[in-house]
Homo-oligomer: A and B are copies of this chain.
Amino acid sequence: MRTPSAFNHLRHLRNLRILPIREIGIRIGAMSIRMAAVQAPVIPIVGELIRTNPGTISLGQGLVSYAPPPQAMARVGAWPPDPADHKYGPVEGQRDLLDALAVKLRAGNGLDLSASRIVVTAGGNMAFMNAVLAIADPGDEIVLVAPFYFNHEMAIVMAGCRPVVVPADRRYQVDVEAIAAAITPRTRAVVTISPNNPTGAVYPEAALRDVNALCASRGVLHVHDEAYEYFVYGEARHFSPGSIPGAAAHTISLFSMSKAYALASWRMGYMVIPDRLFMDVNKIQDTILICPPLVSQAAALGALEAGRAWCEPHVARLARIRTLVLDRLAALGDICEVPTPDGAFYCLLRVDTTLPDMTIVERLVREHRVAVIPGSAFGAAGGCYLRISYGALEETTVAEGMERLVGGLRVVIG
């Protein structure tokens, strides 16, 4: 059996994920045990497989195909307005960007902000890491809904904390009773993502209100990731739990400029945190980053000038591609089940097979030149799962990729 070494490494590391953070342990070559317990980043591993198999269509990484708004590039073209802008800026971000984000968060998300602070970060991932370090100590627990976003789990383990994984239901919706049952005295937060990566599920307002109320009643934080807030389809509506009256004190809301505004390589995200966490998040960001890159903050400010209206035609195009993807998948019949995704640009297939997901991913790339992401990276358990991302390609390329995927799955699963 041909197994590339990169995957051997992944499997090896995945077996180690149950390792406890021991107080004193046996170490190899002065490497930390905490990192042996962190899964290998799946995107670069699948990326390497794609590079070594030229012609592969990637339905892998979560990206959009379009370029950033011209307003963003105009701001960058005129940057820096002042030579002093080559020096460090405020830890929490530039005043003009913070002001523009406050306008957006009030008008677009219904946040009050009177008891909250906004912190600009170098991407949404950094916002999550800031949150974990600010609220949880080594040994503390953070509840994730599975399938989860892999970098969330990785951040928790890296911080010396313990991810407590609560499965979503069969439709990938949040199971509030199961979350309630998972909360212990060591729990510091419950994490939700809507629209969801990797499932595309959009949680209804009522479900998010239930999770948020649960967190309030149990004295834990509700960390809600809204990176895909503008990517909702059909009747689905995005809801920000930070807008619930009284929620500000126990809610951390995470946002990204990478998806809606196509600013992935610029690394721009932001978070809304309770006032009392500001000094600690400030310490964390000062230590890890000092300040978000100022040139990227200029791009972000331009993107906010373009605003959601600029994003809408792109989302409408993605809605058509989503329909195409779901139509093609229907042809697979009983081989796979796909709870209809109402948001983001993902769907997560539940495949009827006993083959390991990584074996399927590998064969799809090598033999059919199409790449998807294995569900195990997202902690998807109780079956074989594959994530499709349809945001990064033109419609015709997605159509060709889906042909290969559907044909390939028929062969591989048989």
Contacts and interface: CB of A to CB of B under 8 A. Distances in A.
Interface of A: 9, 21-25, 29-36, 38-41, 43-44, 61, 63, 67-68, 76, 80, 83, 85-91, 122-123, 125-126, 129, 133-140, 151, 154-155, 158-160, 185-186, 188-189, 219-221, 249-250, 262-267, 274, 276-277, 279-280, 282-284, 286-296, 392
Given A125-B288, A125-B290, A283-B41, A265 B23 contact: no
B29 A276 contact: yes
Contacts of A25: 137
Select the residue from A40, A267, A274 with max chain B CB neighbours within 10 A.
Answer: A267
A147 to B, nearest CB: 17
B290 A267 contact: yes
B289 A266 contact: no
B134 A35 contact: yes
Contacts of A24: 139, 185-186
A98 to B, nearest CB: 15
A88 B63 contact: yes
A343 to B, nearest CB: 21
Contacts of A274: 29
A253 to B, nearest CB: 15
Contact of A291 (B63, B136, B139, B265): B265
A155 B295 contact: no
B67 A86 contact: yes
Given A31-B135, A133-B32, A284 B44 contact: no
Contact of A126 (B41, B221, B276, B288): B288
A286 B185 contact: no
A249 B31 CA distance: 12
A30 B284 contact: no
Nearest to A9: B279
Contacts of A280: 31-32, 35-36, 38
A187 B66 CA distance: 49
B86 A136 contact: no
A220 B30 contact: yes
Given A134-B32, A287-B155, A85 B125 contact: no
A255 to B, nearest CB: 15
A31 B276 contact: yes
Contacts of A290: 123, 125, 151, 264, 267
A232 to B, nearest CB: 23
A135 B30 CA distance: 6
B88 A34 contact: no
Given A31-B276, A129-B287, A186-B24, A263 B40 contact: no
30 contacts: A22-B137, A23-B138, A24-B186, A29-B274, A30-B221, A31-B276, A32-B133, A32-B135, A33-B137, A35-B283, A38-B287, A40-B282, A61-B88, A67-B86, A85-B265, A88-B264, A89-B265, A122-B122, A122-B293, A123-B290, A125-B287, A125-B289, A133-B158, A138-B139, A151-B290, A154-B286, A158-B283, A158-B284, A266-B293, A266-B294
A264 B158 contact: no
A289 B126 contact: yes
Given A30-B188, A35-B284, A125-B290, A137 B21 contact: yes
Nearest to A277: B31
Contacts of A154: 283, 286-287
B265 A87 contact: yes
Contacts of A129: 287-288
